[in-house]
Every structure is written in structure tokens, then in C-alpha cells.
Amino acid sequence: MEKYILSAIIFSTPLYPFRFSLLGVPTNAFEIILYLGFLAWLLFYGKDRLRKIITHPWTVFPPRHVLIIALWSVWGLISALVNPDVLSGLGYWRAFFVDGLLIYIMVVASRQYSLVKKTLILTGGVVALVSLFSACGWHRANDGRWLGWYGFDVSASANYLSLFLAPIVSLAVIGAIKYQKIWRVVSMVAALVMAVALVGAQSRGAVVALVGSLALGGAYMLFYHLPFGGKIKHKTFLFAVFALAMVMVVFYFARPDFNASTNAGRVVTSNNVRWEVWRTTLEVIKEKPLLGAGLGNYQDYFTTLTKGRVNYDEFIAPFALSAHNLFLHIWASMGGLALLVFVWWVIILLRPHFRAPTKEALMPLVFFLAILFYGLVDTPIFKNDLAILWWLAAALMTSRVAEKNYD
């Protein structure tokens, strides 16, 4: 029963575009399934789980992870209250923090890590399969890029499909190598269908996420499981150098045309628009370094700040839904301390897998790294479904420490 509850919640993640109000509170189809599923989980399994959590909390949730998640969640609440529209800010906090935390608790407490990976691959495959209908003209963006399922969201960006699928493709590719029999076939088919959907979505950010995560995944196996490179710390240094080189390559290809004029030339390419967004985001950070503009208030603050500037009202501000960089967005929206907490969280999640490397770490690692690599050119955790992917990635990366403590 527990497996069915978790699978249903994860599989329903893309249903968030179906929005409505319940007793005057804005919500969506995914959240209803999540809350009902969490209540059912508590009813059937909560007694035993909660008793263990209360009596021996550190055997279920690693202490450092509890502390960092508490800091991240509390700071998210503070950031929501900073938003001039407090109710809107609290809505974003519920979607990006509370919803993800509930599923994180369920996954880590139940230790259903294998189920999570397989359900994610199935979910990505189904979402990609639905998007293939976009090839027939169904739910396309104005520029012809595929929206697929996300065409049901009236505010959908052409990147929504690729943001959701790219990390799952990385997971499916490793699954096609690691799994046996039926799940190897499922992973191969899902990876292929999702790859076709990404071609239709035409997102270079997805290419960045896929190439970066799989290249680093290959480097992880190479550096840590072949007899060269010396001690673990030396191999970690080699990996860090390779990762930094990959990041530099990403920014090289994301560079704008610096020779473009200050007028129309600035918006000739998406790279130029992104550069303008990054540059202006630094202005936001300069004005709001500690608390940021408020959770969910980035675009409104950006639009007000740049009102009347050449090209901004027409070509740049409408595309500034986020800072187009995860780390800049966290700083601009939630403040510098939030960014420090987030970076600390990333380090805590990565550290056990590099101190004692294992082949079992490869699947969660590439999934996690795909999100971070996409974060170099977009904001892949501040959207309903993407927030869930992030919390699931955190749960999978926590699995090794949690299992050790539990045992």
C-alpha cells in the first residue's frame, strides 16, 4: 500500500496546471493528491514511522540534514513574508517548500528509494509521450517549440517541458545501463521518448543539463573506481577541476554578443536576453542583498526596476520569470543568507558520495547534478513540479546516510 501511495503522488506531479480554489484557497490537482496521499500514509504507516521519528529521530533523518532543511524552510517562510503580497508569497512557500518537504519525509521515512527512481522514469516517459502530440500542432509555443502537457498551463514557458524532463532523462540513461530485464527496457524506451520530446522543446538548457550531468557521472565512475589518481582527496580534486571546466564551458557557450548595439542588438539572441537578465539581477541583489525581493516577487520587482529602459518593457522583462540562474535567483529573491544555506545543503548532500564513493550513488548523483547544471542557465526548482523533483533528488542523495543511520 505504501508503494502505491508514493507512486501515485510522484506520478501525479505534472497535474499542477489544473488549478482551482477549495474553500477559497487556491490549489491544484497535484496538491490534493499529495495531501490525501500524505494523510493516507500517516493513517496506515504513520503510527510506526512517527514513533521511530519521535523516539529515535536521528536514525531516520540525519541531524545535519534536519538542521539545513529547517533553516532552508524557515528562511523560505521569512522570504514569503517579505513579498509585498504576503498571501501570494505564502502560496509560493507552500508549493516550493511545504509540498516538497511532505514527500521528502515520506520517501526518507519509508526508504522507498528504488521505487522513487523507477516511478520518476515512468512519469517522465508518459509526459514525453503526451508531448509527442505537439508534433501534430497540439500545445505548441508561439515559436513552434513543443509544450506538450504544459500547454494546459496558460502561463507556460516553452522551457517547462525540458526543465521537467532533462533530469529524468539522465536518470533513465543510467537506469538503462544499471537495471536488468524489464526495467532496462523501460528505461531505454523512456529515455528515447524523452530525448525526442527534448528535441521538440528545443532547449539548449536541457543539453547543458544532460551533457553536464552524464559527463560528471562518467568522471565520477572513472576517477573513483579505476586504480589511478591516488587517495580519495586527490581524486576529489581531479573531479572538482573537471567539474569547474564543465561549468566554464557552459558559460562560454552562454556568452552574449558583446558587440551588439545597446538597442535592438541586445535582444537578438536568447543569450543576449539572458545576459541582460543576469546583469539586472545583480542590480536587484545590490538593492536587496540580505532578504531579497521576496519569494515569488522577482519578476514584479525586476519589471518595476527596469520600467522605461530601452527594450526592457517589450523584450526582456516579460521573459524575466526568473533570473535564469538558480544561484542568482535565490540571492535576488531570498537574500544572501538563503544562498549560503542552499550551497551548504548542496555540499552536505554531495559530501558522503565523494568521501566513500559507490557505484550505487551514480543514479541519484546524475539526477541531482542535472538539476544543478540546468541551474546555470535557468531556475529549475522554483515551480510546482520542479520543486518536487528537487526534494526527491535531495531524498535520493540523503538515502545513503539515512540507511547507514537506520541500520
Both 251 and 209 in one domain: the answer is: yes
Both 238 and 183 in one domain: the answer is: no
**Which amino acid belongs to residue 236?**
T
C-alpha 201/C-alpha 365 separation (Å) is 25
What pLDDT is recorded for position 400? 64
Both 51 and 73 in one domain: the answer is: no
What pLDDT is recorded for position 265? 43
pLDDT tens for each residue of 218-259: 888 887 776 555 577 777 777 788 888 888 888 777 666 555
Both 264 and 274 in one domain: the answer is: yes
Both 347 and 393 in one domain: the answer is: yes
- Tell me 180's DSSP state: -
Both 359 and 286 in one domain: the answer is: yes
pTM of the predicted structure, to 2 decimals: 0.91
Both 372 and 407 in one domain: the answer is: yes
- Tell me 361's DSSP state: G
Q: Among 11, 28, 55, give the residue marking a domain's end.
A: 55
- Closest to 314 in 3D by CA, of 273, 280, 258: 273
- Tell me 25's DSSP state: E
Q: How confident is the model at residue 293 (pLDDT cuts 50, 70, 90)?
A: very high
C-alpha 263/C-alpha 309 separation (Å) is 10
C-alpha 289/C-alpha 306 separation (Å) is 18
Both 317 and 279 in one domain: the answer is: yes
28 has a pLDDT exceeding 60: yes
pLDDT tens for each residue of 182-225: 999 999 999 999 999 999 888 888 999 999 999 999 888 887 77
C-alpha 154/C-alpha 406 separation (Å) is 45
Joined grid coordinates for residue 56: 529515535
Both 33 and 158 in one domain: the answer is: no
Report whether 242 contacts 281 (CB < 8 A): no
Tell me the CA end-to-end span of the chain in Å, nearest whole number. Answer: 23
Domain that holds residue 161: 117-202
Both 80 and 187 in one domain: the answer is: no
DSSP per-residue letters across 298-353: HHHHHHHHHTTSTTIIIIIGGG-SS-SSHHHHHHHHH-HHHHHHHHHHHHHHHHHH
Could you give the number of structural domains in the chain?
3
Q: Among 32, 55, 78, give the residue marking a domain's end.
A: 55
Task: State the average pLDDT for the chain.
Answer: 86
What pLDDT is recorded for position 395? 94
Report the pLDDT averaged over residues 355-384. 91
